[in-house]
Homo-oligomer: A and B are copies of this chain.
């Protein structure tokens, strides 16, 4: 858990408040630098890890396995609809997925069921751009 508030951690928190796309640690580091925040890459990784452990940020994996982070408005469990082009994301509800997951798991003798479900697509504005290009 976070024990001390530092300049770097504040900067990460502020950035996450402003950006609502899923971004990689490296991208976030770039953005911080761009804003004039001196911060080491390792610190960005550490901070994101801590925030993720605390459930403050959501993590998902790009197709190539890279971790993407985002601060979500809801703390409760939810799913995402992410734009593959720009990373923008909407929070969505999975209708009864949780109950279904439990039931299916139990039916197969599995316990401690965890589920992941993510949707991705091309958002309206990216689709428009692609059309122009």
Contact = CB atoms under 8 A, between A and B. Distances in A.
A120 B92 CA distance: 21
A124 interface: yes
Secondary structure class of chain A's binding surface, majority of residues: strand
Given A65-B65, A110-B81, A104 B119 contact: yes
A112 interface: yes
Contacts of A122: 110-112
A92 B119 contact: no
A3 interface: no
A122 B66 CA distance: 25
| 4 closest residue pairs by CB, A with B | A110-B121, A109-B124, A65-B65, A117-B117
